[in-house]
Amino acid sequence: MPSVCFYFEVHQPCRLRPYTFFDIGASDRYNDAELDELVMRKVADKCYLPMNALLLELIREHQGRFRCTFSLTGTFIDQAQAYAPEVITSFQELASTGCVEFLDETDSHCLAALFSEDEFRDQVAAHRQRMRDLFGVEPTSFRNTELIYCDRLAKLVESMGYTAVLTEGADRVLDWRSPRFAYRPEGCQNIKLLLKSYSLSDDIAFRFSNRGWPSWPLMADTYAGWLSQVKGCGEIIGLFMDYETFGEHQWKDTGIFEFMRALPGKVLADPEMDFLTVSEAAARYEARGSLSIPEWISWADAERDLSAWLGNEMQKDALESLYACRPMVLSLDDENVKQTWRRLQTSDHFYYMSTKCASDGDVHQYFTPYGSPFEAYANFMNILADFRLRLEAALRK
């Protein structure tokens, strides 16, 4: 019986306002709160509220047999609480059904796993506290920012008590293996690794509205048929995607909501198929051997590596300079300073600095508020220069 495992990433970055060289030393207003509010309200109306209502309807209609998993970034939660509190309420309604799982992650959707284990642990602890406060849950499964993962991360999160971790089902690390089984990360004893079935996931997330795709228009019964073909050659179908796929990346007029409304019924009509949350899938299915992934992978871009954030010297310089601030930030023991620094860690800032071309470059351009990667770098480094000056001044006092 293969199980369908829907996992949705829910994220909004804290966007930076235009900040010039002449602002350094003159202004500590880094965040573009007006743009954050505008985007949050728009995406709440187009995606979060209608999609949450639809999932609640599906859970009730199918008497709990439809189940799914979310991770909510701390930056998303901050903006939802400030600008669209009804979105938080709608997630709490989903949580109350017992059919929705929430994962842990780094609170600011950051790259701390690559630069500072201590900062990584602190951010995960902060996110864990949010899950307790908002939903009364203690997550047992983990996903790192943008599914960034390697063996070292698995050992780290296992030491923190998690029993499952997610990553991309990248062909180059799987070799002959299938992404539709659970695995034991190399060197671990208890934690299980669940993988994204990227082709089936991308059929919804990226290809759904592509009129040049041979399978357009994708119908729910067709897609359910593709899922059923896994029977006999897989146990877990990891459909991992951005939640903003629904209504924002794939607009309402593409039929994406009608597709999702029909899909659970088509899947559950097959008695050999069901839906599970991430932790339920990890508990039900045994690990099919160990899987070693010594180098970092992610779900980003064609390479599925770190090049979306560390592919050029601008990105490397910005990240190294940012994490070099940690000793000063901790020395001050000021929560406002720490929050500012953590907002600057959000991975999107470095994604905007990517100089990739072709289709990956098009995706980066879709998300960035800047005219060019060089503008993104200059703006970030101006802000970081001001932030360092303020840190140094506070430490001298």
Residues annotated as part of the active site = 146
Cβ-based neighbours of 347, under 8 Å, separated by 6 or more: 109, 110, 111, 145, 146, 309
Count other Cβ atoms within 10 Å, centred on residue 78. Answer: 19
